[in-house]
Homo-oligomer: A and B are copies of this chain.
Amino acid sequence: MRIGELAEKAGTTTRALRYYESLGLLPARRTSNGYRTYGDEDLRLLRQIQVLRDFGFELEETRPFVECLRAGHPEGDSCPDSLAVYRRKVEELDALIGQLQGVRAQVGAQLARAERARDALVADAAVPGGPEPRCELGTERGSHGRTA
């Protein structure tokens, strides 16, 4: 299988595959004319990379998994290094989620506050004498009732 075919099977581009090879992540054998050649095994490695990248792993973080597979283990996460990456990632995710939830709460609060302030101003504008005038200190005569 050549690079174009592998890329198509995996739903990626030849550029990505060449990039992975430049990182030593997915090395390829070569035919006599210099073309890269891949086997089904390489497709497995590539899929492992893609799954983790879809999770948001950096390419370097997928390396232990790929090397684990290349070492002949049944799964990419059958090795201690892979498990360590999993654990680190879970911690990172928990920290990040917590942080984002904090930000979310703060932004939500700011939004609510700003909207209340705006509504107060709008209400003021609707009642030209100010918001809910309590008592009339002006001239005795004139409108004694509130506006509607």
Contacts and interface: CB of A to CB of B under 8 A. Distances in A.
A56 interface: yes
Contacts of A90: 104, 107-108, 111
Interface residues of A, number: 28
Given A94-B104, A97-B101, A107-B89, A114 B75 contact: yes
Given A86-B111, A87-B111, A93 B97 contact: no
A62 interface: no
A55 B103 contact: yes
A96 interface: yes
A96 B100 contact: yes
Contacts of A82: 114
Interface in A96-120: 96-97, 100-101, 103-104, 106-108, 110-111, 114-115, 117-118
A81 to B, nearest CB: 12
Contacts of A101: 97
B93 A56 contact: no
Given A97-B100, A97-B101, 4 more contacts: A75-B114, A86-B110, A90-B104, A93-B107
Interface of A: 55-56, 75, 77-78, 82-83, 86-87, 89-90, 93-94, 96-97, 100-101, 103-104, 106-108, 110-111, 114-115, 117-118
| Chain A to chain B: the 4 pairs with minimum beta-carbon distance, closest first | A77-B114, A86-B111, A93-B104, A55-B103
